Amino acid sequence: MHIHILTTTNALICTLPWLVMATLLALTGCTVVQPMVTVLPSEIAYRCMDGSMLQVRRAPDARSAQVLYDGRTITLPRADSAVQEKYSNDVTTLYLDGEKALLTSNAAVLGGQCVSVAPLPVTPQMNQLR
């Protein structure tokens, strides 16, 4: 007959890995990694693929944007879109998505894809409550 005496030290050694695992699982279950989204400042300068510059000045309420391209300035109202922001008057359209911008007129791309000349800040994306 074998008698095994369970000491406090043995119990602690045996349960310690389980406590660590349970703690990690609990923390992992509570921690949600949020995707990052670019914060668009009110004024952004972009350099386009053809070397031209695109200047964008967004209204404080983001309901419109003033665009300076090729010596012309145009104000565009905000439009619904799957990209971060879209402004359009049905002839000229500006797409802003992170550090990238695209300007079109009569469905023709002007200047090619444009990229912000300075890094833009990012923040965790906030999920809407359902």
Does residue 18 belong to any structural domain of this protein?
no
CB 67 within 8 A of CB 76: yes
CATH code for the domain of 96: 2.40.128.200
Does residue 100 belong to any structural domain of this protein?
yes
What pLDDT, in 10s, does the model give residues 69-113? Answer: 999 999 999 999 887 899 999 999 999 988 999 999 999 999 899
Phi and psi for 93 in degrees, rounded to 5? Answer: -130, 135
H/E stretch holding 46: strand 43-48
At 129 the pLDDT is 56
CB 78 within 8 A of CB 62: yes
Does residue 113 belong to any structural domain of this protein?
yes
CA dihedral 70, 76, 80, 84 (to 10 degrees): 50
- Alpha-carbon distance of 128 to 118, in angstroms, equals 29
At 58 the pLDDT is 93
More confident call, 48 vs 6: 48
Model confidence band, residue 11 (pLDDT cutoffs 50, 70, 90): very low
What pLDDT, in 10s, does the model give residues 21-71? Answer: 555 555 555 545 567 777 788 899 999 999 999 999 999 998 999 999 999
Closest-CA residue to 119 (of 98, 102, 103): 98
Query: How many structural domains comprise the chain?
Result: 1
CB 38 within 8 A of CB 118: no
Does residue 33 belong to any structural domain of this protein?
no
- Look up the domain containing 45 and give its range: 38-118
What tokens were used for 18? 């389980």
Which residues, in sequence order, are CB contacts of 21 under 8 Å at separation 6+? none
Does residue 30 belong to any structural domain of this protein?
no
Does residue 103 belong to any structural domain of this protein?
yes
The whole-model pTM stands at: 0.67
Cα three-residue angle 99-71-88, rounded to 5 degrees: 55
Does residue 107 belong to any structural domain of this protein?
yes
At 93 the pLDDT is 96
